């Protein structure tokens, strides 16, 4: 092997393994031995140079400002699940919101009318929000059992009133179903749980009104 050939090998494979041929040449050639030694010393010394350096904080500050100026930064957008989008849109629908408000007003109205008559004061029973909040499991169980009972109790009531209650029960049940699905899919989603609890409360109020109406026998 000549010195020229050795240099070609070093050029093509700067960190290649030394072959027997290369070792043999180096043993007999002081110049090439010095070259190989120097290149190794450079390689070794460069390992001591830091691969990373911490830039000053102003670099990021300037970048951030420029990104804002160019409109590349947008406020964080949470990507809601399809169920949450549907739920939000449902609550935003004037018709549904109106129905819920109507149910609450109806419940208040029944409570008010009833209080004018002699008899047991059902105001406290009807005003669920002021009572200690029932557990989620208790409300869920009550919800499952109460719909049918309530509707049955309404069979002696004016059919039109019965139809209104059936429609409202269906609406609230649909909301509960969507909320339950959200909670199952995202157990850590506090907002979904809050929506679900709200839906249960609304159904409880509706049930209270319906059962009270049925108990009153249409009066």
- Contact residues: another protein, CB under 8 A: 3-4, 7, 10-14, 31, 34-35, 37-56, 58-60, 62-64, 66-67, 70, 72-77, 79, 81
CB of 206 to another protein, least distance (A): 34
DSSP 19-69: PHHHHHHHHH-HHHHHHHHHHHHHHHHHTTS-S--PPPHHHHHHHHHHHHH
Round to whole Å and give the CA distance between 219 and 210: 12
Which one, 10 or 108, has the nearer CB to another protein?
10
- Least CB distance from residue 135 to another protein, whole Å? 29
Q: Which of 15/137 has CB closer to another protein?
A: 15
Closest to another protein by CB, 27 or 70: 70
Nearer to another protein, 7 or 88 (CB): 7
- State the Cα–Cα distance between residues 103 and 161, nearest whole angstrom: 12
CB of 47 to another protein, least distance (A): 8
Q: How far is the CB of 12 from another protein (least distance, A)?
A: 6
Q: Which one, 72 or 95, has the nearer CB to another protein?
A: 72
**C-alpha–C-alpha distance, residues 121 and 119, integer Å:** 6
C-alpha dist (Å) from residue 183 to 78, 83, 135, 136, 189: 17, 10, 16, 12, 7
Q: What's the rounded Cα separation, in Å, for the pair 136 and 190? A: 13
What is the smallest separation between the CB atom of 89 and another protein, expressed in angstroms? 18
Helices (H) and strands (E) in the chain, counts: 10, 0
Least distance to another protein, CB of residue 178, Å: 18
Distance CA 110, CA 209 (A): 7
């Amino acid at each position: 092997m000549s010195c020229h050939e050795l240099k070609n090998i070093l050029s093509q494979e700067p960190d290649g393994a030394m072959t027997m041929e290369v070792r043999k040449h180096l043993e007999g050639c002081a110049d090439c031995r010095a070259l190989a030694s120097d290149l190794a010393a450079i390689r070794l010394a460069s390992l001591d140079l830091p691969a990373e350096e911490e830039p000053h904080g102003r670099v990021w500050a300037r970048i951030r400002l420029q990104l804002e100026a160019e409109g590349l930064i947008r406020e964080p957008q949470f990507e809601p699940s399809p169920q949450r989008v549907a739920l939000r849109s449902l609550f935003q629908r004037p018709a549904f919101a109106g129905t819920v408000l109507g149910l609450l007003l109806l419940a208040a109205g029944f409570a008010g009318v009833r209080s004018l008559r002699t008899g047991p004061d059902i105001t406290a029973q009807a005003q669920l929000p002021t009572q200690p909040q029932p557990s989620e499991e208790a409300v869920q169980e009550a919800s499952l059992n109460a719909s049918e009972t309530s509707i049955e109790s309404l069979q002696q009531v004016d059919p039109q009133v019965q139809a209104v209650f059936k429609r409202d029960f269906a609406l609230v049940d649909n909301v509960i179903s969507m909320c339950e699905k959200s909670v199952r899919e995202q157990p850590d989603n506090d907002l979904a749980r809050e929506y679900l609890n709200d839906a249960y409360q609304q159904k409880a109020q509706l049930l209270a009104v319906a059962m009270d109406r049925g108990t009153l026998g249409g009066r």
